[in-house]
Amino acid sequence: MSAKADVIVIGAGPAGYVAAIRCAQLGLNTVCVDDWVDPQGQPVPGGTCLNVGCIPSKSLLESSERYVQALHELGDHGVIASSVSLDLERMQARKQRIVGELTQGIAQLFKANRIDWVPGRGQLLAERCVRVTDSAGGTRELSADHIILAPGSLPVQLDAVPLAAPQVVDSSGALAFTEVPRHLGIIGAGVIGLELGSVWRRLGAESVTLLEAQAEFLPMADTQTAREAQRLLRAQGLDIRLASRVVSSQSVGAKVEIRYQEGEAEHSAVFDKLIVAVGRRPNTESLAADAATLLFDEWGLIHVDEQCRTNLPGVYAIGDAVRGPMLAHKGSEEGVMVAELIAGKAAKVNYETVPSVIYTRPEVAWVGQTEQALQAVGADYRAGVFPLAASGRARAMGERDGFIKLLADRATDRLLGAHMIGPHCSELIAEAVIAMQLGGSSEDLALTMFAHPSLSESVHEAALAVDGRALHSMAKRRPR
């Protein structure tokens, strides 16, 4: 490795590894430092997303959905599968195989792009130097013209619920259960709580109880969508208790007892396993030596401008450790932007069109403004809603729950937001994202031809509904 690189990236998660690859593609001599090790103690790239986040959770969500289908739904199709049983060990092994294949894929991409991958913990020093401490405690110093900080995030821990007890786990532990917990408690009915709760309920947990401190369910989502999600998830057996703040926990034999406050009342509950899923915090502790004078905000996020520049010349920060949603795709786009900027090109991220997805069944997805946010600022808009029960394709799939909703400016018809709940909404949301990225209107979508029969037709119908002219559903009221 050369003594001085063009770029050092700290972190090889979806923000950092993408930044490193794009830098290398642009001809920059790039080093990527990362301290993640797999359960065998081997260094692996990919960060939280590939190792203990997005990918393993989607693997278990997919497997558990197949299990539920085989148990309860195939009969309706005339497919008789008798004696369906669960082999959790094999399901977990499949998950781990997928993780291994993808992380190895990144290692190969690093090699192919001639990126120097340096295992160890990186710390920013003054003058764009980085100290790397390896797992044996050995240190070395590297320097570069540009540094990209992409350290990611860690699960928030609750003082009242220490992870020391074996029954209490964070999201990583909840992906690795070796048996299905009979009674599962989850603190936090956010994205992680809902996804992991769905997995273990589908795999046979008798009860899944989600204790959520806030009175409102999914406050960041569109209210109509959140209400529908709450109704459908409760019907699947997720016991979502709102306005319930967990205040203490203690081990009781092999179980865990928690106490929680609901208004003035205090309750207790006993679980076999308890997942703490109360958010994530930036992984910025000891990321920078004092001498580096890197600025952080009050939440420990690295202070950056719109183009991810920190207060230090030549030092950028991207992904979960900076402002904005903690989403892999947002971090990756920031990584590409920063690489382009370093290479002297113009680049920016459109933060107006970051899609959000919750991978429950049905999936919940959205982009842009919620209806309640538009109402709060007195915006003049039109809404078009199309129920999936009116979609031939959704019915053929046996997936009739949910709807597609589009919001458009009344005067200009420009799309302001899209909110969806239904099958494959993680894919359907891309139609709205593209339309919004191109500055499109509901009429643009209404004038576009979609294949029949397909779920995507429902986006077309929702666009028609904005103008009160959906073809396959009755408009409740004509637009003003």
Binding site for ligand NAD (CB under 6 A): 158, 187-193, 195, 211-214, 245-246, 277-280, 325-327, 357-359
- Nearer residue to ligand NAD within complex by CB, 278 or 425: 278
- Nearer residue to ligand NAD within complex by CB, 169 or 385: 169
Q: What whole-number distance in Å separates Cα of residue 112 and Cα of residue 115?
A: 8
- Nearer residue to ligand NAD within complex by CB, 10 or 54: 54
Task: Give the nearest distance from C-beta 322 to ligand NAD in angstroms.
Answer: 13
By beta-carbon distance, which residue lies closest to ligand NAD?
A: 190
Please confirm, yes or no, whether 452 is among the known catalytic residues. yes
Task: Give the nearest distance from C-beta 262 to ligand NAD in angstroms.
Answer: 10
- Nearer residue to ligand NAD within complex by CB, 58 or 94: 58
Residue 146's identity, in one-letter code, is H
DSSP of 149-194, one letter per residue? E---EEE--BTTB-TTSTTEE-HHHHT--SS--SEEEEE--SHHHH
Task: Give the nearest distance from C-beta 184 to ligand NAD in angstroms.
Answer: 15
The answer to whether residues 270 and 184 touch, using CB atoms and an 8 Å cutoff, is: no
Q: What is the CA radius of gyration of the chain?
A: 24
Task: Give the nearest distance from C-beta 187 to ligand NAD in angstroms.
Answer: 5
Number of other residues whose CB lies within 10 A of the CB of residue 31: 26
Task: Give the nearest distance from C-beta 473 to ligand NAD in angstroms.
Answer: 29
24: helix, strand or coil: helix
DSSP of 288-310, one letter per residue? B-GGG---B-TTSPBP--TT-B-
Write the CA distances from 198 to 85, 89, 187, integer angstroms. Answer: 18, 18, 14
- Nearer residue to ligand NAD within complex by CB, 246 or 338: 246
134: helix, strand or coil: coil
- Nearer residue to ligand NAD within complex by CB, 33 or 246: 246
- Nearer residue to ligand NAD within complex by CB, 258 or 390: 258
The answer to whether residues 243 and 215 touch, using CB atoms and an 8 Å cutoff, is: yes
Q: b or e along 70-97 (b: 16 or more beta carbons within 10 Å of the residue's beta carbon)?
A: eeeeeeeeeeeeeeeebebeebbeebbe
Backbone angles phi, psi at 123, to 5 degrees: -130, 130
The answer to whether residues 406 and 384 touch, using CB atoms and an 8 Å cutoff, is: yes
Catalytic-labelled residue, pool 77, 419, 452, 472: 452
Task: Give the nearest distance from C-beta 192 to ligand NAD in angstroms.
Answer: 3
Task: Give the nearest distance from C-beta 197 to ligand NAD in angstroms.
Answer: 10
98: helix, strand or coil: helix
Burial, 192: exposed, middle or buried (Cβ in 10 Å; 0-12, 13-18, 19+)? buried
Active site residues: 452
